[in-house]
Structure 1
Amino acid sequence: MSLLVKSNARGRTMVELGDGELQYVGFAAYRLGLGETLPVSAGGKELCLVLLSGRVSIKGEAPGQGAFDWDNIGDRQSVFEDKSPFAAYLPPGSQAQVVALSDVQIAVCAAPGSTTEALGPRLIKPDTMKRSVRGKGANTRYVCDILPDTAPAHSLLVVEVRTPSGHSSSYPPHKHDTDDLPHQSFLEETYYHQINPPQGFVFQRVYTDDRSIDQAMAVENSDLVVVPKGYHPVSVPYGYESYYLNVMAGPKRVWQFHNDPQHSWLLDL
């Protein structure tokens, strides 16, 4: 199975993970024009809607939680702006309508939900998100925690990362595919990529210790990379900036990773 899901140049759906490709993680990214609507139904999943760019209104209802109405949200025109996004958490059973108030790009991130935890729908504002810098030198990248494990949810984790021209990211290679806490957690993951300028590409490799998975991919704008297990570094060619939105989920909502021992010496540089 190819771990690279190519994007669609036209139409409302930019890219979508197929049903059943991963056990825990679901993902789709959409483009909307002014006035267009996107219906969202959570079913048995919990959702995190991430407003990549543009302005929207989100209205709907969650079972036992009542109606929600977040009007005219969004203040960045590109994922490459130095701003955190607006996002919304929707519990299982939620029904919503997203109405575009401009040209919009929006991601719908999904994972198994729980009806016993009584988590209500909530707007996640940019000023509540932790921003940080990871790495150093040509391994520097800029991280925004949208839905980290310190925020309420059942299994969903969401983070976005901007990586400068000529830099590496998710590097040294690390993995989180073994349920062995506190040393490592099992989390599936997807990488939704954008590139600036958009005609560029980045490279991503997904590989396991035994090489039962070993795929190196040239990833173009709005493509999706699926990480069922294994290490998953990213390399950004000179002249282009990288953005990716990570969605993770697994049996335990903890992000604890393990570095590839062949490359862990890089941490001492």
Structure 2
Amino acid sequence: MAGSPRLHLPAGAAASGPYTVDVTPATAGWGHAALRVLRLPPGGSHTYDTGAGEWIVLPLSGGCAVTAEGRTFRLAGRPDVFSAVTDFAYVPRDTRVTLTSPGGGRFALAGARCERRLPARYGPASAVPVELRGTGICSRQVNNFAAADTYDCDRLIAVEVLTPGGNWSSYPPHKHDEHRPGEESRLEEIYYFEVTAHDGAPGLGYHRISPSGQGRDSDLLAEVRDGDTVLVPDGWHGPSIAAPGHTLYYLNVMAGPDGERAWLIRDHPDHAWVRATWPGQPADPRLPLYTAPTQ
């Protein structure tokens, strides 16, 4: 394994208080993106203040009720990230939020510092666009629950990606660390990983970040396992590689300083040609792992 340890946070390394993962702009050393993962026992509850950030409560396993601004949103959730699309709740900045879970579970809190205060609201699983991206061994499934063009937030962009064993995801390598109107946006990014086991043996994957120049030096080649987190402040990132026999999941949380909330990327010039081979080619037949439920 190579690279800076500040970019790869193995499971438990970013734990704080009630959170198994607690990445804030302050701890990440940047300005906007945040992620917490909260584990609640059966009957458990947790209250927190959103402060200067907007947040999406996304069940990873189990369901919960989310109370904010005098309203309660009941999230059915899911057994785990590998089996179903989930519903979710958006809560605005400057709000006190309480989560309660009769059956217990794990819940991602994806956040971003923001300016506008949007209303709290419920996001049904049936409205989540499920996209197949890439072809062949570059195939992956993207659950666009809070993509820039599918859900209204002020700064926050968040999606889930599922990559079958043996496939390459986040490929071709790409970056979003410069402001180029209409071409590239500045976005800090968090990858939170989960990996399926096989006969009790834990799964694994690999993730790469390489320097993009212009004085930036983010450089990482990490073996990632269940519960790991990777921070991408800048640089070319990808691939995320799923080991054969193990499905790789990651939650992407992105936010940045640009006025337009947009996911604009530039592919690495050495590998951009790969994207041009996709049209007309079949996706991995193992995908989709699941689709959004009908209403």
Instruction: Give the TM-score normalised by the residue count of structure 1.
Output: 0.91
Would you say 1:77 and 2:79 are equivalent positions?
yes
Rounded to whole Å, the distance in 1 between the matches of 2:155 and 2:25 is 18
- 1:19 Cα deviation (Å)? 4.9
Distance 1:94 1:260, change over 3 A: same
Residue type of the alignment partner of 2:203? G
Determine the structure 2 residue equivalent to 1:119: 118
Rounded to whole Å, the distance in 2 between the matches of 1:69 and 1:75 is 15
Equivalence for 2:285: none
Aligned partner letter, 1:77: P
Deviating above 6 A after TM superposition, structure 1's stretches of 4 or more consecutive aligned residues are: none
- Which whole-Å CA distance do the structure 2 matches of 1:134 and 1:196 have between them? 21
**What secondary structure is seen at the aligned counterpart in 2 of 1:184?**
coil
Show the counterpart of 1:217. 222
- Aligned equivalents of 1:185 and 1:162: distance in 2? 24
In the other structure, the counterpart of 2:183 is: 183
Report the alpha carbon displacement of residue 12 of structure 1 after superposing the two structures with TM. 4.2
Which residue in 1 is equivalent to 2:288?
A: none
Mapped partners of 1:40, 1:235: distance in 2: 35
What RMSD over aligned residues (CA atoms) do the two structures have, in Å? 1.8
Structure 2 residue runs of 5 or longer lacking an equivalent are: 278-295
In the alignment, the residues of structure 2 paired with residue 235 and residue 18 of structure 1 have an alpha-carbon distance, to the nearest angstrom, of: 26
Match of 1:64 in 2: none
Q: Which residue is equivalent to 2:284?
A: none
Does residue 28 in structure 1 map to residue 8 in structure 2?
no
- Aligned to 1:54, the other structure's residue is in SS state strand
- 8 Å Cα contact 1:189/1:226 also seen in 2: yes
Which residue identity is paired with 1:119?
L
TM-fit CA distance, 1:75: 3.9
Match of 2:21 among 15, 20, 37: 15
Aligned twin of 1:135: 134
SS at match of 1:177: coil
> Where does residue 192 of structure 1 map in the other structure?
192
Gaps of 5+ in 1: 62-66
Give runs of aligned pairs for residues 38-77 of structure 1, distance below 5 A.
38-61=46-69, 67-71=70-74, 73-77=75-79
Quote how far apart the aligned CAs of 1:44 are. 1.1
- Secondary structure of 2:250's counterpart equals strand
Provide the C-alpha distance between the structure 1 equivalents of 2:117 and 2:210, rounded to a whole number of angstroms. Answer: 38
Count of aligned pairs:
260
The reply to whether residue 229 of structure 1 matches residue 229 of structure 2 is: no
Match of 2:252?
246
Q: Distance in 2 between matches of 1:206 and 1:47?
A: 26
The TM-score normalised by the length of structure 2 is 0.84
Equivalence for 2:45:
37
User: Per-residue deviation at 1:40?
Assistant: 2.4
For 2:110, the equivalent position in structure 1 comes to 109
SS in 1 for 2:166: coil
